[in-house]
Amino acid sequence: MSKPCSVAVEIDQSYCSKCAICQSVCPFEAITRDRGTDEFKIDIEKCQVCGICSSACPVQAIKMVYYDHSALLGKIAQQSGKKTSTLVLMCRANSPSTCEIDDILESKGLKIGNHVSLRLPCSGRVPTEFILKALESGVKSIVSVQCEDDFCRFKEGTKVNARRLALSRAFLEQMGYGKDALTVVRYSRKAVYDTEECVGCDKCVFICPYEAIEAQEFATPKIDPDKCLGCGACALVCPHLAIQLKGFEFDTVSKLIKRYQTGAKQLIAKRPSILVFCCQWSEFSVLDDPESLMFKKGAVAMEIPCFKSLDPVHVVQALEGGFDGVMAVVCNQEDCKLEKGKDTAERNLAVLKKALQQKNLLDRFEFFTTSPRCVGEFNQRLDDFIDRIAAVKPMQPIASGGTQDA
């Protein structure tokens, strides 16, 4: 990080029992014991704010800004009201941004009807205590949607959760709960391939950083779903939209941009309207409470799975459709949960800036990297950008670009 910031994870030494469990479960080796003081400390440069350490601490000595259990239980109560519901716990990597939870669960043979859902940085941060309190609060059953092992953005999160929930299920049965009180399913968001639209250009083969797409001599490319990590780079380069990322399809994003533009103009009278393309791992609070961002800042947040999947066309569409400014908020290379493909992201940014410069829109675009461990950094950068955009002439929709709101 370029400068110190208010950190999101801390160890309260007055509670710490020196058991070293947090150190043993941290996937990033961010927790070490100081030989001089015998205290455990978090290396904030390495910490990825997954919360696995916090959920494993037996004395609750690790404090986190995001997703404390009291707040999560309060959210469950607020959403479920007096009705008994199913609680769906989903990792950010597989949590849908377009409300297809029912489709995901039905694809796994589950029809749950009335439910409430919670997004978490990682399914591995859910302790047994939280499961018990959720059931005691009136929740009828719990479904944990885990990423596949190799898909986990926090390396060991799925494995940690699988072991923990196996113990939780056994404990619940001893407590008299039915076997359906806790269900675990695996789901990972991956590329969807329409071979009828494919022209065999093999651009997807070249661009895939995980070698998940294999060229075929006399046929369309073949996708290996076990290798696909859902970065969306292939969808970005496909000229016929034959391959797209589930939940982030080109047309889906375009329609959302238009809808957000309409809503922004109706709610924002005197402030510039800002669209924020936000990597789902770079900022937590904004994506978890987008309505607050709209009413407090006059900005709209649109989630993207990785900067490698941000299509420059959508940035231009947002500006020509009437947004006064666009921000792209992404992880730095050290924090990227999809580590491969740095060159793809760099080329994407270069193409985007060149396109905006040709249209005299570059001064309305802001790109910066951040991390959820830097509390408040996003808000400061957004405030600075809003002030900058407020000093220039408001954008007007360009009908000829095909992006004017209806």
- Of 29-33, 326-330, 356-360, 397-401, the poorest mean pLDDT is in 397-401
| Cβ(345)–Cβ(267) below 8 Å | no
Neighbours of 67 (CB within 10 A): 21
Neighbours of 250 (CB within 10 A): 16
pLDDT of residue 92: 86
pLDDT of residue 383: 92
Task: Give DSSP secondary structure letters for 28-70.
Answer: T--EEE-TTT--EEE-TTT-----HHHHH-TT--EEESS--HH
pLDDT of residue 126: 86
- Of 71-85, 120-134, 274-288, 291-305, the poorest mean pLDDT is in 71-85
In this prediction the pTM is 0.87
Tens digits of residue pLDDT in 358-394:
999 999 999 999 989 888 889 899 999 999 999 988 8
Token pair 């004017």 in the structure block, residue: 404
Tens digits of residue pLDDT in 210-238:
999 999 988 899 999 999 998 999 999 99
What average pLDDT does the segment 70-88 reach? 77
Where does the pLDDT of residue 270 fall: very low under 50, low under 70, confident under 90, or very high at 90 and above? low
pLDDT of residue 1: 41
On the question of pLDDT at 290 being above 70, the answer is yes
Longest CA–CA span in the chain (Å) reads 68
- pLDDT averaged over every residue in the chain: 86
Tens digits of residue pLDDT in 237-258:
999 999 998 888 999 899 989 8
| Cβ(32)–Cβ(40) below 8 Å | yes
pLDDT of residue 296: 80
What is the residue extent of each domain of the chain? 7-64, 69-186, 191-245, 260-401
What average pLDDT does the segment 200-217 reach? 92
On the question of pLDDT at 55 being above 50, the answer is yes
Distance CA 235, CA 237 (A): 6
On the question of pLDDT at 166 being above 80, the answer is yes
Phi, psi of 7, rounded to the nearest 5 degrees:
-85, 155
What average pLDDT does the segment 300-319 reach? 91
On the question of pLDDT at 402 being above 50, the answer is no
On the question of pLDDT at 113 being above 80, the answer is no
What average pLDDT does the segment 268-288 reach? 84
CATH number of 7-64: 3.30.70.20
Please compute, for residue 141, the number of CA atoms within 13 A of its CA located in the half-sphere on the CB side: 15
- Of 139-148, 262-271, 317-326, the poorest mean pLDDT is in 262-271
- Of 107-121, 169-183, 245-259, the poorest mean pLDDT is in 107-121
What average pLDDT does the segment 166-189 reach? 90
Distance CA 74, CA 402 (A): 44
| Topology of the domain covering 69-186 | Rossmann fold (3.40.50)
Q: Which two tokens stand for residue 357?
A: 């410069």
Q: Do domains 69-186 and 260-401 have the same CATH topology?
A: no
Give me the percent of the chain exceeding a pLDDT of 90: 43
Run of H or E including 164? helix 157-174
Fill in the DSSP letter of residue 371: -
pLDDT of residue 405: 38
pLDDT of residue 327: 95
From first CA to last CA, the distance across the chain in angstroms is: 43
Phi, psi of 105, rounded to the nearest 5 degrees:
-70, -40
> Which of the following CATH numbers is that of domain 191-245: 3.40.462.20, 1.20.1440.230, 3.30.70.20, 1.10.10.10?
3.30.70.20
CATH number of 260-401: 3.40.1400
Distance CA 236, CA 310 (A): 7
On the question of pLDDT at 259 being above 90, the answer is no
Q: In DSSP terms, which residues pair with 183 in a beta bridge?
A: 143
Give me the percent of the chain exceeding a pLDDT of 70: 93
On the question of pLDDT at 401 being above 60, the answer is no
